[in-house]
């Protein structure tokens, strides 16, 4: 008899553990405030997806607040409806009509019998639609994951090992795949007199997001690697990349900003071209900040003449202790929940806080500062950064 309370207590404890384990799997270990913040961010992004298809001008002209709310709800519903396939549109309309026409939906009645009225049929249809949409999402996500794996093959998983230089890089796609590109590799010596191959570093950003930008990023990587394997100079590589980008830019809608730098490991002389990219930050060992702006417009901007764009290359001399920070606009333009941008001033502050840190530590600090600033706000652009530090 004495074992019964213990058995009951054990059953209750096991039940609580199962419920707790289920809750942790569903919430992925996030706290309630984190879940709420994530939900608000996703709801805001979802609203933006549908509201962009709504003509708000006639709605805003309505003087009655109630009528404006009713028209807004109807317009958003239509925008959501048109995102579905024709067959699913009809099903959704049928489900909504059935639920609204039968609002008194109960699990059972006085005699304990279940109520399987038309309202329940509407709810079942809604669940079927949810399952179909979820199935499409899972299939698309699987395809995107494969595309992401392929894209990861195109960028280095770790920096090249070069005596005297410390390199680190990181990228965070806004979606599963990204239009950002980074690379650092040794290319053949330009002349027989050169004692060692040069180091080529690049950070690029294709206009747009997700799959279209990722496909163009792949062609950019292929073109850069092909040109870099030849004895072409940096200026010739830049001209070749721009020529190819203009031929595939869809009349300038798919241009690419990029920063390319070639460094001579023998004397740390660096030549670079900034093609419409965010000006990289060069922090000298003394603490002085320089911005690298020499170059020209983004690759792929259409021309109205047959002549090539004359990109102006810049040159700087690197010294031990100097740090080069190259980034895409997703870093500087990261937005928090109040609509504020992270800004380049915060980037500089993160870089200069500990001058003697390694490239990886500097990079981690910048990315951490961006995360803390953004909070639960949804990421709206790809984020990529490369840190190069001369150590000897």
Could you give the domains of the chain?
13-148 (no CATH), 158-390 (3.60.40.10)
- Three-state secondary structure along the chain? CCHHHHHHHHHHHHHHHHHHHHHHHHHCCCCHHHHHHHHHHHHHHHHHHHHCCCCCHHHHCCCCHHHHHHHHHHHHHHHHHCCCCHHHHHHHHHHHHHHHHCCCCCCCCCCCCCCCCHHHHHHHHHHHHHHHHHHHHHHHHHHHHHHHHHHHHHCCCCCCCCCCEEEEEEEECCCCCCCEEEEEEEECCCCCCCCCCEEEEEEEEECCCHHHHHHHHHHHHHHHHHHHCCCCCHHHHHHHHHHHHHHCCCCCCCCEEEEEEEEECCCCEEEEEEEECCCCEEECCCCCEEECCCEECCECCCCCCCCCCCCCCEEEECCCCCEEEEECHHHHCCECCCCCECHHHHHHHHHHCCCCCCHHHHHHHHHHHHHHHHCCCCCCCCEEEEEEEECC
Q: What is the pTM of this model?
A: 0.72
Pair of tokens at residue 189: 């010596």
The predicted pLDDT at position 179 comes to 81
300: exposed, middle or buried (Cβ count in 10 Å: 0-12, 13-18, 19+): buried
Per-residue pLDDT of the chain (392 residues; tens, 9 = 90+): 455 556 777 777 788 778 777 777 776 666 666 666 666 666 676 767 777 777 888 888 888 888 888 888 888 888 888 888 888 888 888 888 888 877 665 555 555 555 556 777 788 888 888 888 878 777 777 777 777 777 777 888 888 888 899 999 998 888 777 788 999 999 876 655 566 789 999 999 988 777 777 788 888 888 999 999 888 899 999 999 998 888 876 665 678 999 999 999 888 999 999 999 999 999 999 989 999 999 999 998 877 656 678 899 999 999 999 999 999 999 999 988 888 999 999 999 999 887 778 999 999 999 999 999 988 787 888 899 999 999 87
The predicted pLDDT at position 320 comes to 93
The predicted pLDDT at position 273 comes to 96
As a whole number of angstroms, the distance between CA 218 and CA 66 comes to 51
The predicted pLDDT at position 317 comes to 96
The predicted pLDDT at position 386 comes to 96
8 A C-beta contact, residue 374 and residue 335 = yes
As a whole number of angstroms, the distance between CA 296 and CA 302 comes to 13
The predicted pLDDT at position 336 comes to 87
Pair of tokens at residue 85: 């396939």
The predicted pLDDT at position 105 comes to 56
The predicted pLDDT at position 72 comes to 84
The predicted pLDDT at position 151 comes to 72
């Amino acid at each position: 008899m004495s074992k019964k309370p213990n058995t009951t207590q054990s059953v209750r404890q096991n039940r609580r553990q199962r419920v707790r384990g289920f809750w942790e799997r569903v919430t992925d270990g996030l706290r309630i405030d984190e879940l709420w913040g994530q939900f608000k961010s996703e709801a805001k992004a979802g609203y933006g997806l549908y509201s962009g298809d709504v003509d708000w001008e006639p709605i805003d002209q309505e003087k009655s607040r109630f009528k404006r709310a009713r028209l807004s709800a109807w317009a958003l519903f239509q925008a959501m409806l048109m995102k579905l396939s024709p067959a699913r549109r009809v099903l959704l309309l049928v489900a909504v009509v059935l639920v609204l026409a039968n609002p008194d939906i109960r699990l059972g009645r006085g005699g304990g019998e279940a109520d399987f009225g038309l309202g329940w049929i509407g709810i079942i249809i809604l669940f079927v639609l949810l399952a179909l949409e979820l199935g499409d999402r899972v299939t698309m996500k699987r395809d995107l994951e494969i595309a992401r794996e392929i894209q990861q093959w195109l960028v280095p998983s770790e920096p090249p090992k070069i005596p005297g230089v410390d390199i680190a890089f990181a990228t965070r796609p806004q979606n599963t795949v990204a239009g950002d590109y980074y690379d650092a590799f040794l290319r053949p010596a330009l002349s027989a007199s050169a004692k060692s191959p040069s180091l080529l570093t690049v950070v690029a950003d294709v206009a747009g997001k997700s799959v279209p930008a990722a496909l163009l990023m792949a062609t950019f990587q292929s073109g850069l690697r092909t040109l870099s394997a030849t004895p072409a100079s940096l200026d010739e590589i830049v001209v070749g990349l721009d020529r190819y980008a203009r031929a595939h830019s869809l009349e300038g809608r798919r241009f690419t900003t990029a920063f390319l730098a070639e460094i001579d490991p023998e004397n740390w002389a660096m030549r670079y071209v900034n093609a419409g990219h965010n000006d990289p930050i060069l922090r000298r060992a003394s603490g002085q900040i320089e911005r690298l702006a020499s170059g020209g417009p983004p690759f792929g901007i259409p021309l109205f003449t047959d002549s090539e764009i004359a990109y102006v290359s810049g040159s700087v001399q690197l010294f031990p202790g100097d740090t080069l920070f190259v980034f895409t606009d997703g870093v500087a333009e990261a937005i928090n929940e109040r609509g504020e941008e992270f800004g380049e001033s915060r980037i500089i502050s993160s870089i200069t806080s500990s001058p003697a840190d390694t490239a990886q530590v500097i990079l981690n600090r910048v990315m951490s500062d961006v995360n803390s600033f953004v909070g639960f706000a949804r990421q709206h652009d790809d984020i990529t950064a490369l840190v190069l530090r001369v150590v000897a």
